Structure 1
Amino acid sequence: MQRYAFSVSPLRRPRRALAPRGQELDSLAGSDALRGRFFSWRGATGRRYVCSVFQRGEEGFVSDVESGVVIGVARDGASLRPVCLFSAGERRAAALRELAQELGVAEWHVHFCPDTEPARDLAGSLLN
């Protein structure tokens, strides 16, 4: 009986580096109409949260959202920087407009969800 000596190394997928904290959706790269309306952020756990994007001036709609996470985002040139994060339904439109003025918010990113866990995960990643 012949014996063959060989070692089998487990197949390893190359580890895909985690995306930056925030990025546009690759699936919408070719769509001029939708590309600017969605954005994703990574939480502290590495989970990705897709958000709908609302421009400054749309605070009336953002304040009507009752369940989810709201991220105030400022622009630094071409990059986006989160400047505040809170649970949806916490602030009225007038308070959002005031906050936008004070912090330089250019966009409101809203992740629609029924619970508060994403708020904690995102806060751990975006506001540290």
Structure 2
Amino acid sequence: MEQPSLARRQQTGRTLLLLWAAGPIFELPVVALVISSFPKVAAAAVFGSAGSQAVAFIALLLVLVGVVLAWVGFSGAGVRRSLAVLLWIAAGLLAVLMLGFLTDGSWAGAAVLVAHSAVATAAIGWLLLRRPAR
């Protein structure tokens, strides 16, 4: 079987990267807005209103930095590994936030958005390590 060319693999990797990044980029600001706008949602948030918004925005910032570094093929292995670990920590914090919304029971929509963002954040960390450096 014929191996795909390097250009084809890079194109596929970039498409995957954009697909995984779309969720957190659109969902995390919505979750932060919902937490700040509705007091009942803020009461259900595990980290409180300000803490949950901070988790969402820090995760969003890490996702954006991770996507940019993976896109350009940043060659610093230590930076890529460190950022991947930070992305995985952010994914864990998002999962805790999601569990808080699920245990409350009335904010399942917010829980679904946060759950998808947590999985996508972890996947971006994995892609950051898998993409070849230039």
Per the normalisation by structure 1, the TM-score is 0.28
* Structure ranking higher in strand proportion: 1
Higher RCO (Cα < 8 Å, 6 or more apart): 2
Structure number with larger C-alpha Rg: 1
Q: Normalising by the residue count of structure 2, what TM-score does the alignment of the two structures yield?
A: 0.27
